[in-house]
Every structure is written in structure tokens, then in C-alpha cells.
């Protein structure tokens, strides 16, 4: 039999049409924002969009690239993550509409690729229901009840530091802070005692620490660039190292959940896990709300949300504490003012602090806030997704577009913060705050979808730093931080 070569032109013609159509569709997608009048950086890649410029630059960090784009293109900059349109928004008046006033349009964060049923990634009514369940976890009443546990954990932290540092040793402080914050959040949110401060080889600590050291997974990048293939890539995601580490933590939490259900006894401290379990049974804490739970939580939602509490409470606060300590080491005059405030308002007795003691330390709070301004621990996390095309103050935001808030750039904007690179805690006094736009400071986000644990994190940081300054004078060294035990 002879070959019928007459079909080849048809095949070539069809493939040419397909390629041309594919090129046209991608060109159209990469000009979507421009059609709404949004200025975008040039040279978007046909596959990656602007992802390669923003995240894979060899000369500039993501934050530096964001600042460059804002300087070049203004306060509203469009770009593409793959074909996904995104707008970097540093106009605070528009931002107020997005984060607060138009929350019904900007309810959701951009879709998390692996579809985790957590407070971070849940959408619309389901997010509202779970948020309602968990909000009482960090109420003022609960924070006061948690304070003895916070004190106990920081006491262990100080004793470990004394053994390692006195009289004049240098220390890398980040890892001890990680152990402290994991110990704290596991005990306060999950009533789980890990003993990870005294045992640096604790399995959970090592797994969580390894998780945050992983680079951005290439599978996640492909999910961003090819959203149509999401189902296929989700299968591959199961084999990613980050997914294996999350699975390990989740399995441990599921064991804790099973033990808690079997015991049928409420913990002494009503923690996040207890509220989640009540919600799974159609109950809700009557202490603060007096209302029935609006929707039952399934076992997946319980485990995933407990896992997110653990991961977020560990990483963000340990990073923030490290930066506060770093700033105090660079500015000894400010450190001495904090020490003077402690002596004046608490006294020289080194016994355990009380909740009221920590509440008196107003200057210390200003110091922490200024460190959070210069070094926000999660500068790339505040984002929203637009449900329908809407125009705000002359800027049209199209449906399905993601909004990214460049927190790092906003915190260092000289129009908002005079001499922004200078460490000046008094910027955050009540008098100075009234002179600024309310959204000029966003370390915990803003609006109904802000960080649920912000007050807990501030209390934890104040207690830790107060105890640190009571016991040590902190000085910088070439590579680490020098701790000298104080002599009262």
C-alpha cells in the first residue's frame, strides 16, 4: 500500500491554525489589563507573564522590583503571573475601598493552588462562617487567660538563653525564637505541649522549619502559569517536598483531634481546636457569642485550620521577633529607653510579668510597631480577588483580577513616612497616627479579612521582648547578636 501524502498539507494547515490561535489567545490575555487602561511593565513572557521579572531576578528582590515598578509606573501597576492578571495597588484611597468598604466584591484571596480548606483560602460564605467560629479564640478575655502560658514559655526561653549566652557569648537568635513561637502557638491554640524549646530535635519543629526553608515549588509555578491544567498538577503536587511536610504535620494534628474527641473534656483553656471541634458538632462557644454555629465544620477543615494556626503563628512571629531584636541591637539608645520604661512601670523585681504589666509598656509597643514597619514579616501576603468588574476612583478593576498590596513599599514610602529608613518608634504615637492615612501601616493587613491572630502576636512579642530586655543587654556583632546578662 502506498502512503497518501495528500493529507499532510491538511495536517500542517490545521496545526498552523492551532498555533496561530494559541499565540493570539495568549497575546490577548497579556493585553487584558491594558485594555482597561492599567499601565503594565513591558516584555511580558508568553508563558510566565511577568513572573520571571518579579520572582526570578538575579539582581533584585521581589520587594525591590515592586518599588521599582511603583516608581516607574505610579501607584497602580498591572502585571501577569502566567496569564493571571494582577494589579499592584499602592493608592491608599483605592485600597480602603478594596480592603474595607467593598469587601463583598473583594471577599476572597486569590485561589490557593492546592485548594486547602483553611481560613486563608476559604471563599465567600464559607470563609465568613469559619471566621465567625474562630474569632473568639483571640478575644481580650482569651488573651488574658493565655497569658500565664505565654509567660511560662518565655521563662523557658530566657533560661535557655542564659545557659547559652552568659556572660558574653554571641548567639544566632532566629532559631531559638522559632522554638519559642512554635511552643507558644501549639500550647495556646492547640493545647499541645511539644517541649520543642528544650528539645531542638523535636519532629514537628524540624518539619515546620524545613517547610519554610523550601523554595517556591516549580509545580506551584506551573499551576499559576497554566490554570487550565490545575487538576493534573494537583496530582503532581502530592509528590512535592512541601506537601509531604504538610502531610506529616496534618497527621500529627489529626491524632491530637482524635484524642481530644475521645476524652470528651474541654481543656482548661478554650483554644482554637476546641472551637473547631464544637463547630464540627453544631455547637459554638456561648461565652462570647451566644449564637449557634452557622455551619458545621468537617474533619478536613478542622485539621487544615489547626495546621494553619500552627504554621502562621510559628513563622510570622519568630521573624518579627528577630527583626525587633536586630533593631534594638542597632539602636542602644532606644534599647535603654525600653529598659528605663520597664524599670519605671514594672520595677526591678524579676518575677513573672502580669498581663497588666505588659499593657503598661507603651514605648515598647511603639518600638515593635516601628520594627514591623521597616521589616513586615509577610510583605507579599496581603492580596484580594475581584468578583466583578468595578471602577474605584477612576480605576477600573476587571473581574477575576488579583489585587496585590505591596506592604513593604507602602511602609517605606517617603510621602507617607518622612525619612522612611530611619528607625523612629514615636512615629506610631497616637498624635502621629492621626496625621497619616489609616492604611499607611499594614503589617497584619486590614479590614474584615485581616490577620485573626494580630492581638495575640503583639502580646506574645511584648512579653518576650520585655523579658529579653529585663535580662540582657543586646548588641550587634559581625554575624550574630551579642547578649550580655544585665546587672541590676
Q: Pairing relation of β-strands 84-89 and 402-404?
A: parallel
The three-class DSSP label of residue 384 is strand
Going by C-beta distance under 8 Å and a sequence separation of 6 or more, which residues neighbour residue 266? 274
Residues making up the binding site: 451
- The whole-angstrom separation of Cα 102 and Cα 91 is 15
- The whole-angstrom separation of Cα 275 and Cα 284 is 7
- The whole-angstrom separation of Cα 143 and Cα 265 is 21
- The whole-angstrom separation of Cα 63 and Cα 53 is 12
Cell of 172: 544566632
- The whole-angstrom separation of Cα 29 and Cα 79 is 11
Of 324, 339, 337, 323, nearest to 484 (Cα)? Answer: 339
For residue 99, count other CB atoms closer than 10 A to its CB. Answer: 24
Of 106, 103, 100, nearest to 87 (Cα)? Answer: 106
- The whole-angstrom separation of Cα 396 and Cα 40 is 14
Give how far Cα 436 sits from Cα of 89, 375, 382, 417, 432, Å. 18, 19, 20, 9, 7
Give how far Cα 454 sits from Cα of 243, 326, 421, Å. 27, 21, 24
Of 258, 253, 299, 249, nearest to 279 (Cα)? Answer: 299
Q: What strand order describes the sheet that includes 383-385?
A: 76-81, 84-89, 402-404, 383-385
Cell of 318: 519568630
Going by C-beta distance under 8 Å and a sequence separation of 6 or more, which residues neighbour residue 63? 379, 380, 406, 408, 409
Alpha-carbon dihedral angle through residues 457, 459, 460, 466, given to the nearest 10 degrees: 140
* Residue 219 exposure: Cα atoms within 13 Å on the Cβ side: 18
Going by C-beta distance under 8 Å and a sequence separation of 6 or more, which residues neighbour residue 479? 170
Element housing 426 (H / E)? none
- The whole-angstrom separation of Cα 414 and Cα 86 is 25
Residues making up the binding site for heme: 451
Of 253, 281, 259, 264, nearest to 133 (Cα)? Answer: 281
Amino acid at each position: 500500500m502506498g502512503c497518501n501524502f495528500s493529507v499532510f498539507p491538511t495536517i500542517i494547515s490545521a496545526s498552523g491554525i492551532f498555533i496561530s490561535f494559541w499565540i493570539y489567545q495568549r497575546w490577548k490575555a497579556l493585553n487584558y489589563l491594558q485594555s482597561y487602561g492599567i499601565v503594565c511593565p513591558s516584555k511580558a513572557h508568553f508563558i510566565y507573564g511577568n513572573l520571571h521579572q518579579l520572582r526570578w531576578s538575579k539582581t533584585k528582590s521581589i520587594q525591590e522590583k515592586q518599588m521599582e515598578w511603583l516608581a516607574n509606573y505610579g501607584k497602580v501597576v498591572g502585571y501577569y503571573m502566567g496569564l493571571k492578571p494582577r494589579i499592584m495597588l499602592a493608592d491608599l484611597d483605592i485600597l480602603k475601598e478594596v480592603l474595607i468598604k467593598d469587601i463583598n466584591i473583594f471577599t476572597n484571596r486569590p485561589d490557593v493552588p492546592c485548594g486547602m480548606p483553611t481560613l486563608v483560602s476559604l471563599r465567600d460564605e464559607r470563609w465568613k462562617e469559619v471566621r465567625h467560629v474562630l474569632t473568639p479564640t483571640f478575644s481580650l478575655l482569651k488573651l488574658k487567660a493565655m497569658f500565664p502560658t505565654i509567660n511560662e514559655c518565655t521563662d523557658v526561653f530566657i533560661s535557655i538563653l542564659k545557659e547559652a549566652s552568659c556572660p558574653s557569648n554571641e548567639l544566632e537568635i532566629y532559631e531559638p525564637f522559632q522554638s519559642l513561637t512554635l511552643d507558644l502557638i501549639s500550647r495556646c491554640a492547640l493545647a499541645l505541649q511539644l517541649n520543642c524549646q528544650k528539645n531542638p530535635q523535636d519532629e514537628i519543629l524540624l518539619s515546620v522549619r524545613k517547610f519554610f526553608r523550601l523554595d517556591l515549588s516549580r509545580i506551584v509555578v506551573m499551576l499559576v502559569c497554566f490554570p487550565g491544567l490545575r487538576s493534573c498538577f494537583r496530582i503532581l503536587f502530592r509528590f512535592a517536598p512541601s506537601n509531604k511536610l504538610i502531610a506529616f504535620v496534618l497527621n500529627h494534628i489529626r491524632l491530637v483531634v482524635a484524642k481530644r474527641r475521645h476524652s470528651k473534656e474541654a481543656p482548661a483553656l478554650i483554644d482554637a481546636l476546641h472551637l473547631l471541634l464544637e463547630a464540627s458538632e453544631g455547637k459554638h462557644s456561648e461565652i462570647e457569642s451566644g449564637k449557634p454555629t452557622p455551619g458545621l465544620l468537617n474533619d478536613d477543615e478542622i485539621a487544615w485550620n489547626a495546621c494553619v494556626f500552627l504554621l502562621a503563628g510559628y513563622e510570622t512571629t519568630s521573624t518579627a521577633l528577630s527583626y525587633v531584636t536586630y533593631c534594638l541591637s542597632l539602636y542602644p539608645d532606644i534599647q535603654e529607653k525600653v529598659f528605663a520604661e520597664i524599670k519605671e512601670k514594672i520595677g526591678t523585681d524579676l518575677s513573672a510579668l502580669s498581663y497588666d504589666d505588659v499593657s503598661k509598656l507603651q514605648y515598647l509597643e511603639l518600638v515593635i510597631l516601628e520594627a514591623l514597619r521597616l521589616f513586615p514579616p509577610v510583605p507579599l501576603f496581603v492580596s484580594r480577588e475581584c468578583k466583578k468588574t468595578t471602577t474605584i476612583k477612576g480605576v477600573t478593576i476587571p473581574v477575576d483580577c488579583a489585587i496585590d498590596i505591596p506592604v513593604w513599599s507602602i511602609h517605606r514610602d517617603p510621602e507617607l513616612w518622612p525619612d522612611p529608613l530611619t528607625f523612629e518608634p514615636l512615629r506610631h504615637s497616637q498624635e502621629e497616627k492621626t496625621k497619616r492615612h489609616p492604611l499607611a501601616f499594614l503589617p497584619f493587613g486590614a479590614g474584615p479579612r485581616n490577620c485573626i491572630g494580630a492581638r495575640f502576636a503583639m502580646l506574645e512579642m511584648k512579653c518576650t521582648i520585655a523579658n529579653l530586655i529585663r535580662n540582657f543587654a543586646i548588641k550587634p556583632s559581625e554575624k550574630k547578636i551579642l547578649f550580655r546578662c544585665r546587672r541590676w
